[in-house]
Amino acid sequence: MDRRKVILTGAAAAVGAAAAPSSLWAQPNPDYNTPQESTYERDELLRAGSDALGVTAEAVGGAIERIARDYGSNPDGYIAGEEGSGAIVAGLRYGKGLLYMRGQEPLTVYWRGPSVGWDWGGNASRVFTLCYNLRHPDMIFRRYPGVDGSAYLVGGLGVNYQKADDITLAPIRAGLGLRLGANVGYLAYSRKKHILPF
């Protein structure tokens, strides 16, 4: 290898190091395996979900079992909160809750987002969101599009999936109101409350 190749190789390595993320959780790591002790077991989720949604453990258990079939039985964390939404073709959704993760203080999170579709009405809901591949609380703060065709009802509870990179959120909703239709959209999670949904 001549001197020119050595210099070019060294320069490329320096540029690559400078462009690397400054924090361990800035980019998803597909080789990451969540330790069992940092995830939540089914019984813990049943108790927390029942309290958060104000329903029986049996009711929330059906939704958790369905999500477990799709994404695994042990999420890294969960969000317990409340939200309100309304739509006349275009819709808005706003919410607030606490993110719980092992070894971390509960973190207040806000979410909001627009939607569009064949959708009318409004509702207020309690929300219990299971979080998968969320390796650090700060990773929650981003936009999560809804996955098309993933909404369903289990025991009277509404469930859908939101996904960004390898992070998946599975909100379970129980609420009051009149809402009819289907829509597509996203939710943006933030540290502070925002009025604008975008």
Residue range 41-190 forms a domain whose CATH class is: mainly beta
Please report, for residues 61, 161, 184, the alpha-carbon distance to residue 148 in angstroms, rounded to integers and kept in the order given. 24, 9, 7
pLDDT of 149-161, one tens digit each? 456 566 678 888 9
Mean pLDDT of 47-67: 92
Q: Does the pTM of the predicted model rise above 0.85?
A: no
Q: Is 103 exposed, middle or buried (0-12, 13-18, 19+ CB in 10 A)?
A: exposed
pLDDT at 148: 45
pLDDT at 152: 57
Instruction: Indicate the domain borders of the chain.
Output: 41-190
* CA dihedral sign, ordered 141, 104, 23, 134: negative
- Average pLDDT along the chain: 78
Check whether 70 has a pLDDT greater than 80: yes
Q: Which is higher by pLDDT, 182 or 13?
A: 182
Mean pLDDT of 18-34: 36
Q: Which is higher by pLDDT, 11 or 174?
A: 174
